[in-house]
């Protein structure tokens, strides 16, 4: 089995992530998928996935605060506003 290294996100990751999300929309649409679900970490940084999902029409349907001091958070500076989030995007496809 392959091993994966976890690292902190970098600003240049946003473009690659946006391309990946767009590719998933295209692939899902070709199969008639009418709902996309994203499990994500929303944070107080300028590059929070929440902003990316908002631009792509996702609706956040559940939020669960991650309670920790800002000093322990890699993104938030004054107060930690991190949340585990579940977002959905409906594509409008209704036929199967």
- pTM of full prediction above 0.85: no
Confidence (pLDDT) at 22: 79
What are the tens digits of pLDDT across the range 58-88?
899 999 999 888 888 888 888 889 999 998 9
Terminal Cα-to-Cα distance of the chain (whole angstroms): 36
Residue 96 has pLDDT above 50, yes or no: no
| DSSP helix, strand, coil percent of the chain (3-state; round to 5) | 30, 25, 45
Q: pLDDT-derived band of residue 26, with 50, 70 and 90 as boundaries? A: confident
In the chain, where the domains are located: 32-90
């Amino acid at each position: 089995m392959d091993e994966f290294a976890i690292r902190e996100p970098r600003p240049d990751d946003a473009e690659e992530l946006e391309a990946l999300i767009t590719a998933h929309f295209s692939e899902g649409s070709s199969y008639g998928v009418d709902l996309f679900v994203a499990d994500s970490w929303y944070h107080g940084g300028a590059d929070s996935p929440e902003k990316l999902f908002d631009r792509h029409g996702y609706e956040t349907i559940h939020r669960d605060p991650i309670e920790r001091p800002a000093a322990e958070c890699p993104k938030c500076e004054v107060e930690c506003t991190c949340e585990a989030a579940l977002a959905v995007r409906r594509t409008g496809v209704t036929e199967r």
